[in-house]
Amino acid sequence: MKKYITVAIDGPASSGKSTVAKLVAKEQGYIYIDTGAMYRAITLKAIRKGIDLQNQKQLYSLLKKTEISFDKQDEKQHTLLDGEDVTSAIRQTDVTNNVSIVSSHRSIRKELVSRQKEMSKDHSVVMDGRDIGTVVLPEATLKIFLVADAEERAKRRYEENIEQGIDADYETILEEIKQRDNYDATRKESPLKKAQDAKVIDSTSLSIEEVKNEVLELLQKNMN
């Protein structure tokens, strides 16, 4: 039986998880799974349908009838919601500010974690999120916990939004990130925390390339 490689990258908002995960997956020829995009997609759909984001029962019912998938186009990964490309829509402010509420519901997490585990069964994967090393892939070949100062993360998100043509204010983003950190760390269901055997990388003063290379070095060691 072929042994598949699994890389779990966890960390707070805008710590660079997705960017690093994509680069590592591309370099290794693995499948990249953006778990955060899955939570964002169901958040977007709930907002569009006017569903109370605190109503777990309604959200779960909606999710069970929802298809979330990924498609690679022009070397970029796209998120599809019931077949619609929502790659840009799920990054809008209303989704960003509400995704933590949706992802805190136990039934939502249980359903999406099940889907994420299924995605990793027959492929070598790189998966990023907030509970990958602790819940989704507890037996991962390599677990990374990526951190960075809140100010640096706010700067990155601000620049990313401006580049994508999304209105942004640095101070507002910084406050939102601090609130998100607190919410993610204190929520009841799968709070953000480092797996005991995860390797911590502080990306505050590192380039994306440097972080990627550090992850690849750690992966090589773990595979030997």
> Which residues are paired to 9 by β-bridges?
128, 144
Range of the domain at 194: 6-223
Please state the domain count of the chain. Answer: 1
Report the candidate in 84, 201, 190 with the shortest Cα–Cα distance to residue 133: 190
Instruction: Give the span between the Cα atoms of 41 and 37, in whole angstroms.
Output: 6
Question: Tens digits of per-residue pLDDT, 90-108?
Answer: 999 899 989 989 999 999 9
Question: Tens digits of per-residue pLDDT, 172-203?
Answer: 999 999 998 998 888 888 888 899 999 999 99
Q: Is 66 domain-assigned?
A: yes
Give the percent of the chain with pLDDT over 70: 99
Question: Tens digits of per-residue pLDDT, 49-74?
Answer: 999 999 999 999 999 999 999 887 77
The CATH number of residue 18's host domain is 3.40.50.300
* pTM (global) more than 0.85: no
Q: Is 1 domain-assigned?
A: no
Report helix, strand or coil for 115. helix
Q: Is 128 domain-assigned?
A: yes
Q: Is 67 domain-assigned?
A: yes
Q: Is 120 domain-assigned?
A: yes
Instruction: Give the span between the Cα atoms of 74 and 45, in whole angstroms.
Output: 26
